[in-house]
Each structure stands twice: as C-alpha cells, then as structure tokens.
Structure 1
Amino acid sequence: MNTATGQLYIVSAPSGAGKSSLLQALRAHLPGVDVAVSHTTRQPRPGEQDGVHYHFTTVKAFQQQIAADAFLEYAQVFDNFYGTSKQAVNGVLAAGHDVILEIDWQGAQLVRQRAPDAVSIFILPPSVAALQERLQGRGQDSEAIIQRRMRDAQSDMAHYPEYDYLIINDDFETAVAELGSIFRSQRLQRERQTQRHAALLDALVTS
C-alpha cells in the first residue's frame, strides 16, 4: 500500500516564460501531481473559472484569512494579493500527491521558512526578446502593462540563484522533459521509496 506523503514543489518564473503551459504538459504525462489553486483578489481573465484557475476573493476576505494565519504564503503582486491555503496543501500532500505552488520569489522565500524540504524550480525564457514577444502574443494587456511586466520580469529573474533547479524554456518539449526528470528523481529518493514500498523492502531483507 502507498503510504508515502507527497513532495512540495515551488515553481517560479517571470510572466511570459511559459510556466503554466509547462506545468499543464507535465501533469498530462505524470500522474499524482496537483497544482495548488491560489486565492487572489484580482479580477478573472476571460476563460478563467473560480476554484479551477484561482479562488477569486475580495480584499476584505483575503485580509481576514491573513489574520487567521490561513496561508502558507501570500504576497502582493502588481496591484493584487495572492495566497496559498495551508489546509488545502497539507491535505493533498497527506494523500500522497505531489503539490506544485506557482508562486513568485517573495512567496518562495516564505514557503522555504515554513517548509524547508520544498523543492524549488525557476523557469527562464531563452532571451529578453523572446519574453517580450510572448507577452505581446497573449493579446490580453496594453503596451504600458507589457512594459511594466518586462521591468518586473528582470527584477524577478535576478532571484534565480535562490532555487534548487533552473530550466530554460527554449524548446518546449525539452523543457517539459527536464521538468519531469526532476519530479521522477525526487520520487526515487530512498526515503520516499522506503515509505512507498515498506512491505516489499521488509520482505526482501528478512526472508
């Protein structure tokens, strides 16, 4: 019986680096991986669903949850708040699933303090020009917002040395394979394998 707890992952990237697409492709090929659904005070974008992409909430309700210490991490990004529920993450980990936190470097610093065993991954674009092209290709933001995101992206990318792993999203399929190799190698660590195959290991060494 699988009694192993899941592994907590932090995945960060500047806006436009392709993080969400990479994680979607990873989950399509690797079972037992969940992405924590964050709470946010920003308005939904076209096509986003409450409880699927984010838990959309008000500033007042978000502040009440901060006061109740309900978040594993929270931060203000641009003009909005984002946070990750401690209860939700712990429940998924206890069920044996890996959990991904899609958070920025500020949130990552907070999570490392509370969960030092978390594995952190930073995703970078292949160039500044590629990043700007991807942001413009979304067709969702004005040029002023894109330029602000570019300035913030350069500030964000300066924090890559704080992470355990670094992936350059140049060729998409290569980046997905590299991301999957991190998750698979973590699952093969002796401690997790011992939890997962306790009965087998006991039989092998005592028979």
Structure 2
Amino acid sequence: MIYENGFGFERETKEKGVGLIFILSAPSGAGKTTVVKGVLEQLPGLRFSVSFTTRLPRPNEKEGEDYHFVSHSVFQRMLERNEFLEWAEVLGNLYGTPRPDLKKLKSEEMDLILDIDTQGAKKVLKEVDQPILIYLLPPSLKVLRERLMKRGLDSLERVKFRLSKAGQDMEEALGYHYVIVNERVEGAIEKLRSIIIAERCRRNKLSIIEENKEKWEDYNG
C-alpha cells in the first residue's frame, strides 16, 4: 500500500505478516557469518536462507546450516529447473540462492535474511518486492587482509583477488539502505538487530494504527 502523508512524500507500507527480505552483503572475511548467527540467536521470526555451493566444506561448516554442499551436476540440474533466485561463479566454485517460498514465509510470519554479494543483490532486486539492503564493512582493507591471512583458507593470490573485489564492491555500498562497520562483532550484531526491528515496526505501522484507532476515538479527555 502507498501511504501519502503530510510531509510531501510517499512511502510504501507492507501488510502486517508479509515476510520481509533482508539482503546482507559483505566482502569475504568481513565477519558476516558470525554477525548473522548472532542476530538469529537473538531475534525470533527470522530465518537464514541457506545457499547452495559446489565448493568443499571448510572446517567447522555444517551441511544445511552454513551451505548445502552439492556436486556440479546437481547444481546444473537446479539451474535448468530455475530453482535459484540468483547464482554466480566465484574462484571456480558455483554459489546459488534458492528461491524463497513467500507464501510459506507469510503463513509462518517469518522474515528472511539472504547472504548475497552486490552483483547478486542487483539480480534479486528485479525479482523480489522491496528487499532491505544492508552492507557490512570491515574497518579497513588492512584489517580485512589481516583477517583473511589469519583464517588461512586462501592462497596469497586468492587473498589479493578478494581484496581487489572488496575494494570494488565497497563502491556499491552507496546504493544500499544501511551500512554497518564491523569493528566489534557485538556492536555489529546489535546494529543489524536494530535495523531488522526498525523495519518490522515500519511494516506494521498501519496495522498498529488501525488496532489502536478505536481507543483514540473513544477517548474524550
């Protein structure tokens, strides 16, 4: 619903119960996985969309929780059936975001958070109504390099590639609704949590007003 107010601008308001779609983008090594897990532990009614990938699991990654790990042939069959909202190839590995079941999200009153890079976010914008875009930044490229080197999962060449891509993607952050700098994990979790709560309040404002309107009209002072 488009709501025109007295301030001279229009803002679209979703119906209460309609699932919100949050897109979280970040350079590899920015701490996105840790931040998302922290928010999921604190906020009810929020679900993480588990992506599919053809790469091998990293230490401590769990099937169905961090990713669905599949073969190239399985991934290709899913592509042919148009099962991905978006997909990309990164460093020789395929990554795909499954299409969300929006009707199921609404019936279960769930919101969804997607882990997608900036290019994937552009594709999703063409298919999903009003997703909320959030970009998670590392404090600096120097800190990002230190984090990538410390976790020891990539060769030096791959680290250089990730840093170069991170520098390019940061320019795209200007087009996002929110930007969070992950200096401290606890602080980043709290900021993401606050954004989700604020967007839920915005979604529900019309229903809140309607539910309380009768009380206000009955009040005679």
Q: What TM-score does the superposition give when structure 1 sets the normalisation length?
A: 0.87
Moved more, 57-66 or 88-97: 88-97
Distance 1:22 1:184, change over 3 A: same
Query: 2:19–2:102: 8 Å Cα contact kept in structure 1?
Result: no
* Partner AA of 1:110 in structure 2: K
CA distance in 1, matches of 2:22, 2:85: 13
Distance 1:4 1:206, change over 3 A: farther
In structure 1, stretches of 5+ residues that fail to align are none
- Pairing 1:26–2:51 present: no
Matched with 2:58 is: 45
Matched with 1:192 is: 204
- Pairing 1:102–2:115 present: yes
CA distance in 2, matches of 1:121, 1:94: 25
Distance 1:205 1:114, change over 3 A: farther
Query: 1:93–1:99: 8 Å Cα contact kept in structure 2?
Result: no
CA distance in 1, matches of 2:99, 2:141: 35
Query: 1:11–1:121: 8 Å Cα contact kept in structure 2?
Result: yes
- Pairing 1:164–2:177 present: yes
Q: Percent same amino acid among aligned pairs?
A: 36
Moved more, 18-27 or 138-147: 138-147
Displacement, 1:155?
2.0
Displacement, 1:139?
2.3
Displacement, 1:115?
1.0
Query: 1:42–1:80: 8 Å Cα contact kept in structure 2?
Result: yes
* Partner AA of 1:26 in structure 2: V
Matched with 2:189 is: 176
Task: Provide the aligned length of Structure 1 versus Structure 2.
Answer: 203
In structure 2, stretches of 5+ residues that fail to align are 1-15
Displacement, 1:99?
0.6
Q: What TM-score does the superposition give when structure 2 sets the normalisation length?
A: 0.82
Distance 1:89 1:48, change over 3 A: farther
